[in-house]
């Protein structure tokens, strides 16, 4: 990264946080996230702590538990076999945050709230930082944020969000605990990406291999039925809800109609148009040229007939409908360093 | 969901939007989990796995009609179009 870029970043953050950080402190090998976390660490302030929360990590075969004692964060180490001692400690806390592993439920009383760190981080930052809010700004290397009274209050300030977090933590734990079907064991390591997807590894490759999925289905079908639920054009549909784009909704409805008539090839053209256009963020003339070059002209004519509109006009309409939404996103990043979407989650 | 991007001052408007669109991945997965939360609260069903914007359940030999009814009600409630496939009917 250029020094001028670093200088611009620091100037921008100094103005936002009202700090006066010195450019010479910036490590020249860091990327933006690294510099930002260093910046937050250098400008740390004091917070009141709570003894309602503990934080558990697994390091090799040991459990490491962090908690607040005499208004200071301390930690205890437990061998994987010392489960009773671990249980006795963590049951002193109403909220147990678990980082990177599934905590066995028999170690914890029913009235405790178990939350996964990866999911908390995605709800509050979706990024490699502990900048949870303007009032709760910490470096990724500093877990103090989770012991602050302010975080505890924030956690319980939104019931829907808390219930979703409890449920998704429960599901993530249950996936990682694993399940066996005859000779197949599904016991994944799950990486929660900053963009919010859950990537499975270390087990049957069910996410990207239909043969592996079919193998599981065939085993399950010996004992009962399997139900698959799919979102139809999930990403475009959600974008249409956030932006209010009527044209995206119209395209998705047209796709559903085409699929119901068995015209899946035409339906897939609409699906691909939406997915590619949404992620390429090209101008309408560029997006239209790419679309025309990748599809058969007869198919395009059929779709235009269904939509009663030329494809170029369809793309222009989407572009216009997304304009205000895009502007709000850009303004929010520039003014708040963040964007909040779906307030309840 | 809050999305932090401390680098936007260095990015063009197109780059900001392009990066922001990647978070649609998380929104769709969250929507799938919201559906799963409804199913768990109503019927106690726990999924076997999720694949980005789809979710799979083992429903044993239960009558699927009330399950389908429940899934469709939740999907309607959260305003999300879905397809449902039952294997082993």
Looking at the fold, whether A250 and A319 belong to one and the same domain comes out as: yes
A85 and A111 together in one domain:
yes
Q: Same domain, yes or no, for A156 and A93?
A: yes
In a domain, A311, yes or no: yes
Asked if B12 reaches chain A (Cβ–Cβ under 8 Å), the answer is no
> Are A221 and B87 in contact (CB < 8 Å)?
yes
Residue numbers of the domain that contains A132: 53-171
> How, if at all, do strands A137-138 and A179-181 pair?
unpaired
Which one of B8, B71, B89 has the shortest CB-CB distance to A334? B8
Position A77 in a domain:
yes
Q: Say whether residue B64 is in contact with chain A using an 8 A CB cutoff.
A: yes
Q: Inter-chain contact A196–B30, Cβ cutoff 8 Å?
A: yes
| Residue A183 included in any domain | yes
Q: What is the pTM of this model?
A: 0.94
| Number of folded domains that form chain A | 4
pLDDT band for A25, please (50, 70, 90 cuts).
low
For residues A211 and A245, membership in a common domain is answered with: no
Spatial separation of the C-alpha atoms in residues A71 and A272, rounded to whole Å: 55
CB pair distance less than 8 Å for B80 and A237 = yes
Asked if residue A2 has pLDDT above 90, the reply is no
Q: Would you say residue B82 lies in a domain?
A: no
The Cα–Cα gap between A344 and A322 comes to: 23
For residues A318 and A277, is the Cβ–Cβ distance under 8 A? yes
Pair A289, A307 in one domain: yes
| Domain assignment of residue A343, yes or no | no
Chain A residues in contact with B9 by the CB 8 A cut-off are 8-9, 12, 334
Contact B37 A164 (CB under 8 A): yes
Residue A20 confidence (pLDDT): 86
* DSSP assignment of A27-72: -TT--HHHHHHHHHHHT-----B-SSEEEEEEETTEEEEEEEETTE
For residue B83, the Cα-to-chain-centroid distance in whole angstroms is 12
Residue A235: both structure tokens together: 């990403």
Select from B28, B87, B89 the Cβ nearest to the Cβ of A231: B28
For residue A231, give the nearest of B3, B31, B62 by CB distance. Answer: B31
Tokens of A4: 């001028």
In a domain, B3, yes or no: no
Which residue in B has a C-alpha nearest to residue A236's C-alpha? B24
Largest CA distance in chain A: 75
Give a yes or no: residue A228 inside a domain. no
What number is the average pLDDT over the span A71-86? Answer: 94
Q: A344 in a domain, yes or no?
A: no
Q: Is residue B27 part of a domain?
A: yes
Element (H or E) spanning A175, and its range?
Answer: helix A159-177
Residues A264 and A299 in one domain: yes
pLDDT on residue B61 = 87
Q: Of the given ranges (A29-43, A175-189, A240-254), which has the lowest mean pLDDT?
A: A29-43
Same domain for A251 and A294? yes
Mean pLDDT along residues A209-222:
93
On whether residue B49 sits in a domain, the answer given is yes
| Total count of domains within chain B | 1
Host domain of residue B38: 12-77
Residue B87 lies in a domain: no
Nearest Cα neighbor of A103 from A161, A141, A51, A55 is A55
Q: What is the pLDDT of residues B3-44, one digit of tens each?
A: 999 999 999 999 999 999 999 999 999 999 999 999 999 999
Q: Cβ–Cβ of A224/B61 closer than 8 Å?
A: yes
Helices (H) and strands (E) in chain B, counts: 3, 4
pLDDT for residue B89 is more than 90: no
In a domain, B4, yes or no: no
Residues A196/A6/A282/A329 CA torsion (nearest 10 deg): 60
For residues A34-42, give the mean pLDDT: 91
Residue A276: pLDDT band with limits 50, 70, 90:
confident
User: What does the pLDDT read at residue A17?
Assistant: 94
Give the residue-averaged pLDDT of A194-207: 93
Q: How confident is the model at residue A345 (pLDDT cuts 50, 70, 90)?
A: low
Chain centroid offset of residue A221 CA: 32
On whether both A57 and A20 belong to a single domain, the answer is no
Only one residue has tokens 């010195």, namely A22
The predicted model gives A153-170 an average pLDDT of 97
Q: Are residues A115 and A196 in the same domain?
A: no
Q: Which of A129, A122, A138 is nearest to A31 (CA)?
A: A129
Domain-ending residue, one of A146, A171, A196:
A171
**Domain identity same for A243 and A217:** no
* CB-defined contacts A:B, below 8 A: 232
Closest partner residue to B23 (CB to CB) among A8, A126, A228 is: A126
**Separation CA A99–CA A149 (nearest Å):** 20
Q: Per the structure block, which two tokens stand in for A239?
A: 């974008």
- Residue A275 has a pLDDT of 87
pLDDT of residue A296: 92
Average pLDDT over residues A125-134: 96
Is residue B5 a part of any domain in this protein? no
pLDDT over 80 at A217, yes or no: yes
Is A139 a domain residue? yes
The residue of chain A nearest to residue B30, with distances taken between CA atoms, is A196
Q: B18 in a domain, yes or no?
A: yes
pLDDT of residue A21: 83
Whether A254 and A303 share a structural domain: yes
Q: What's the whole-number average pLDDT of chain A?
A: 93
Max CA distance (Å), chain B:
56
Q: What is the pLDDT of residue A239?
A: 97
Rounded to a whole number of angstroms, the distance from the CA of B3 to the nearest CA of chain A is 5
CB contact under 8 A, A225 and B23: no
Q: Is the dihedral of CA A84, A86, A92, A94 positive or negative?
A: negative
The rounded distance, in Å, linking the Cα atoms of B55 and B36 is 8
The DSSP 8-state label assigned to residue A180 in this structure reads E
Q: What percent of chain A lies above the pLDDT cut of 70?
A: 98
> Is pLDDT of A338 > 80?
yes
- Average pLDDT, stretch A15-26? 82
| B36 interfaces chain A, CB cutoff of 8 Å | yes
Partner-chain contact B6 A337, CB within 8 Å? yes
The Cα A252–Cα A283 span in angstroms is 21
Residues A74 and A165 in one domain: yes
CA distance B22 to chain A (A): 6
Within 8 A by CB and 6+ apart from A43, the residues are A17, A19, A21, A137
Looking at residue A311, its pLDDT comes to 94
Q: Do B27 and A164 touch (CB under 8 A)?
A: no
Residue in A with minimal Cα distance to B17: A326
- Write the CATH number for A117: 3.30.420
Q: Give the chain B residue whose CA is nearest to the CA of A130.
A: B4
């Amino acid at each position: 990264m250029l020094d001028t870029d670093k200088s611009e970043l620091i100037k921008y953050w100094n103005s936002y946080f009202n700090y006066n950080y010195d450019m010479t402190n910036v490590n020249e090998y860091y990327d933006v996230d690294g510099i930002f976390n260093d910046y937050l660490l250098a400008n740390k302030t004091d917070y009141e702590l709570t003894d309602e929360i503990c934080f558990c990590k697994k390091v090799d075969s040991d459990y490491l538990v962090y908690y607040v004692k005499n208004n200071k964060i301390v930690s205890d180490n437990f061998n994987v076999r010392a489960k009773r001692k671990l249980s006795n400690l963590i049951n002193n806390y109403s909220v147990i945050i678990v980082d990177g592993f599934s905590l066995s439920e028999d170690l914890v009383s029913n009235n405790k709230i178990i939350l996964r760190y990866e999911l908390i981080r995605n709800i509050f930052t979706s990024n490699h930082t502990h900048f949870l809010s303007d009032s709760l700004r910490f470096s990724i290397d500093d877990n103090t944020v989770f012991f602050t009274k302010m975080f505890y209050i924030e956690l319980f300030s939104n019931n829907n969000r808390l219930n979703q977090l409890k449920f998704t933590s429960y599901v993530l734990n249950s996936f990682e605990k694993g399940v066996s079907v005859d000779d197949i064991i599904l016991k994944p390591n799950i990486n929660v990406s900053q963009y919010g997807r859950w990537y499975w590894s270390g087990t049957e490759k069910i996410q990207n291999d239909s043969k592996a999925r079919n193998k599981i289905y065939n085993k399950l079908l010996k004992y009962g039925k399997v139900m698959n639920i799919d979102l139809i054009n999930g990403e475009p549909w959600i974008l249409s809800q956030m932006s209010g784009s009527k044209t995206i909704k119209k395209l998705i409805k047209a796709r559903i109609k085409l699929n119901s008539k068995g015209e899946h090839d035409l339906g897939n053209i609409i699906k691909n148009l939406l997915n590619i256009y949404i992620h390429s963020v090209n101008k309408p003339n560029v997006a239209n040229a790419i679309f025309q070059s990748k599809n058969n002209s007869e198919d395009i004519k059929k779709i235009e007939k269904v939509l009663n509109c030329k494809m170029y006009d369809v793309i222009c309409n989407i572009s216009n409908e997304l304009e205000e939404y895009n502007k709000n996103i850009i303004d929010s990043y520039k003014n708040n360093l963040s964007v909040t979407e779906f307030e309840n989650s | 969901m809050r999305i932090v991007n401390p680098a936007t001052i260095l990015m063009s408007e197109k780059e900001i939007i392009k990066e922001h669109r990647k978070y649609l991945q998380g929104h769709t997965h969250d929507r799938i989990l919201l559906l799963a939360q409804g199913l768990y609260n109503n019927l106690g069903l726990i999924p076997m796995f999720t694949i980005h914007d789809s979710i799979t359940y083992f429903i044993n030999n239960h009558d699927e009609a009330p399950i389908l009814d429940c899934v469709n009600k939740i999907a309607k409630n959260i305003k999300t179009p879905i397809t449902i496939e039952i294997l082993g009917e």
